[in-house]
Structure 1
C-alpha cells in the first residue's frame, strides 16, 4: 500500500501508526513535513517550506487563513511533483490544522483523504472565555470565528475524519460529526507500567523512590491552558502542608496555546514572584527525555493534571497507564477518562485549595489509593491501549477507506467506533 502522511511536525499524532506500517516492506510511505530534525528510518520524508510569511498588513482576523493558504500551497507543490513522477498514494492521512491539507483533493481528487480533527474553536463552551483570569474580548470572538476557516474547508474536503476523544469530536459542527470516527492515537501500555522499585536522581542530586511523597505535574509548556497558574498557587499551600514532599514539574517555558505575556516574561517567572515555595523541594525539570518522563510518572505519589476545555494531553492518559493517582480538573476532556472516586479524583479547575486538599487525601491514605491507581491503568488498557484497540481501529479505518467503503460509527460513550464497512 502507498500511504502519504502530512503533518508539519513529523510524526506528530501519526508516530505509532507510521512505526507499525513501516514494518511491512510492501508499504511505500511518504511523510510530508516542515523541517524539525525528527527522522524515521524506513520512510521517505519530504520537507517543505512556505515561500513567505503572512503579510503583516493582513487583517489579523485573516492571518491564520493566509498562513493556511501558504502552507497548503507549499504542500501542493510537493504533491504535484510526486504526481508528475508517477507516484500516487492509496490513502492520504493529514492533520489539517495548519492548512497543509487545503489543496490535497485538488491534486489527488480520487484518493481518499483521512483528516485528523483535533479541535474546532468556539467563542464560548470551550477554552475561550473559560478563565476569568485571562478574559477574552469581542475582538477575540471575531478572530476565532475566522480562525475556523481552514478547519471548515478541511472538514468539507476530507472523505473521513478522526478525533482522539468524543468531546473533541463534539466541538466540531454537528453537520460534520457523522464522518468523524473517535479513535485515540493510543497509549503504549506495555511501556507505561507501574514500577514499585523506580528511583530517580534529580539534577539537584536528590534521589527519590516510591517511599517518598512525590507530587508530579506535567505539561508541554507551563501555561494557563494547562492550569499552571492554579497549580502554582496550590503549590504554595502544598509546600506549607507537606514538609517532606517533593514536587516535580515537567515542562518548558514557551507558550503552546493562548497568549504570551506582553513583556516577554514566562509564566513561570511571573508566578514565582507571586507565591512562596521551597526551592529545595520544588524541582522544575524543564523538558526531559521520554525515558526520564516515564520514570517520573512511575515515581509519582499524586499526579496533578489541570486543563481548560481543550485538547486532552497525551500525558494524562500515559500517567494513568503508569499507575498514577490522577488529581484532575473537572473539565470535559478530563471527565471523559477520569471518574471521581473510581479511577482518580476530580477537583474544581479554579480551586488551588481543592488541589491541595486532594493531594492531602492521597498522601494521607494508607496505601495512597492503590485501588484507584489500578482502576486508572485498567481504564487505559480497556479503552486506549495502542496494540489491542487504537492501532487496529486506525488500520481498519484506513483499509475501509482504501476499499472505497464508508465506515460505520458507534456512538456509545467510551468505546472506539465500529469499523464494519457498510
Structure 2
C-alpha cells in the first residue's frame, strides 16, 4: 500500500509504526515541517512542506488558533497537490490532525482512507477546565466559549476521517460520541526490551560526579517545566524533601518553554518563577543537590530512569506522558498524582503510590516512605513493569494492534 503520514514534527507518535510499515515493503511517505530537504528516514520518504503565509491581519484572538491551523492546512494542501500531479496517490492517510494539516487532503485524494491520531478533544467543564485554582480564567463564564472554538479543527476533520486512534481511554473519552465510536484505544507502545532495570546503570552529572543505584536519586521529568505537569507543586515541596533527605540527589529534566497551558509573564519562564519562589528556603549546600538537566539525549534519559530510586510524576487531567510509562518499564518506584489519566494505568500501592495533585506534603511523605523501604520500591517497580510488558509493550501488543487497525482502515468504504 501507499501510506502517507501527516505530522508537523514527524515521526512523533508514528516513529515505530511508520518504520515498521516501511520495513514490511509498503511505500511510506511523510509530509512534515520538520525537515527542509527531502530525506529518507528508516525507509520512509520524508517530504518537507513550507508555510505559505504569515498572519498579518487583525482578528479576534479566539480565532488565532484556527487561523494557524488553516494556514498549515493550506500549505500542506499545496504540497499534496504537487505530489498528486507528479503521480502520487496514497491508499491510506494517517494524520495527527492537531495542527490542522490534514484538513484538505481528501480534497486532493478523495478515495484515500483517512485515520486520525486523536490526541485530545477540548472539554470546557471541570476538571478539564479550571482544574488548578491557582490559574483561574480571566472570565469564568466566557472561557468555555473560547475552549469550544478550539474544537473547530477536530470537527472539520471528523467529517473527512474514517477512523481514529487514541493512546489512552482517557484521551479517547474526551471526544463526542459521534466520533468516539470510531476511535480505537491503542497505545503508541513502550520498548520494554530497551527500557528495563539495569543494576549497573550510571548517570554522569555536569560536575563529573557519577550517580549509581547506590545513590539516593529522586527524578522529576517534564518535556517543559510548567504547571500543567505539576512543576509548581514539585518545586514547593522541594525544600522539605531536601531538608528531610540530606543524601538525596534530585534530577530535574525539562525545557524552559511551554508545551501546554498558559504562558508565563513576558520575559519569564515557569522554571525560574518557581525557583525564585523557593530558593531562599533552601540552603546552598542543599541547593547543590538539585540538578536541572534541561533536555537530555534519550540514552542519557534511560540511564537517569535506571538510577532513579523514586520517580515523581504530576499532571493535570490531560494527555499522559510517555516518560511515566518509560519509568515504569525501568521498574522505577513511582509517586504520582491521582488524576484521571494516571488512574487509568496506576493503582495506589499496587504499582505506584498515588497522591492528590495539589498535596505536595503527601508527595514528599510517600517519597520518603519509599526511599526508606527497599522492599516496597522493588514490589511497586516489579508490578509497574509487569503492566508495561503485559499491556503496553511495543512489539507484542501495541504495534500488532496498530497494524490490525490500519488493515481494517484500508478495508473501509472510501
Question: Which interval holds the TM-score relative to the shorter structure?
Answer: over 0.9
SS for the counterpart of 1:288 is coil
Q: What is the DSSP-based 3-state SS (H/G/I as helix, E as strand, rest coil) of the residue aligned with 2:145?
A: helix
Equivalence map 1:85-124=2 (5 Å): 85-124=86-125
Within 2, Cα distance between the matches of 1:36 and 1:133?
39
* Pair 1:400-2:408 in alignment: yes
| Match in the other structure for 2:271 | 268
Secondary structure (helix, strand or coil) at the match of 1:274 reads helix
1:4-403 alignment, distance < 5 Å: 4-24=4-24, 26-36=25-35, 40-138=41-139, 139-275=142-278, 276-277=281-282, 278-403=286-411
The alignment's TM-score, normalised by the length of structure 2, stands at 0.95
- 1:310-338, Cα deviation, whole Å (9 max, x unpaired): 11011001110011111110001111010
Contact 1:119/1:171 (<8 A) preserved: yes
| Other structure's SS at 1:367 match | helix
TM superposition shift of 1:42: 2.1
Structure 1 outlier segments of 4+, above 4 Å: 36-39
Q: Counterparts of 1:269 and 1:32 in 2: how far apart (Å)? A: 36
Contact 1:92 1:114 in 2 (8 A): yes
Instruction: Say if 2:332 and 2:377, in contact at 8 Å, map to a contact too.
Output: no
Q: Is the 8 A contact 1:61 1:143 kept in 2?
A: yes
Cα distance in structure 2, aligned partners of 1:190 and 1:168: 26
Does structure 1 retain, via aligned residues, the 8 Å contact 2:165–2:185?
Answer: yes
**Normalising by the residue count of structure 1, what TM-score does the alignment of the two structures yield?**
0.93
Contact 1:126 1:310 in 2 (8 A): no
1:39 deviates by: 6.3
Q: 1:239 to 1:39 in 2, by over 3 A?
A: farther
| CA displacement, residues 225-246 of structure 1 (integer Å, 9 cap, x when unaligned) | 0000000011111001100111
1:56 Cα deviation after fit: 4.8
- Find the aligned partners of 2:54 and 2:312 in 1 and give their Cα distance: 38
For structure 2, the 5+ residue unaligned runs are none
The 8 Å contact of residues 91 and 111 in structure 2, kept in 1 or not, is answered as: no
Cα root mean square deviation, aligned: 1.5
> CA offset at residue 272 of structure 1?
1.2
1:382 Cα deviation after fit = 1.0
The structure in which a higher percent of residues are helix is 2
Cα distance change of structure 1 residues 22 and 196 upon mapping to structure 2, 3 Å threshold: same
Cα deviation, 1:348-371, whole Å, max 9, x if unaligned, reads 100110110010110111435211
Q: Distance in 1 between matches of 2:306 and 2:407?
A: 37
| 205-214 vs 344-353, which moves further | 205-214
Number of equivalences? 405
- Structure 1 residues 250 and 351, CA gap change in structure 2 (3 angstroms): same
State the Cα distance separating 1:167 from its structure 2 match.
0.5
CA distance in 2, matches of 1:289, 1:85: 39
How far has the Cα of 1:157 moved from its partner? 1.7
In 2, Cα distance between equivalents of 1:306 and 1:36: 33
8 Å CA contact 2:162, 2:412 repeated in 1: no
Which string of whole-angstrom CA distances, capped at 9 and with x for unpartnered residues, describes residues 136-194 of structure 1? Answer: 13343222111110011112221000010001011111221100000111000000001
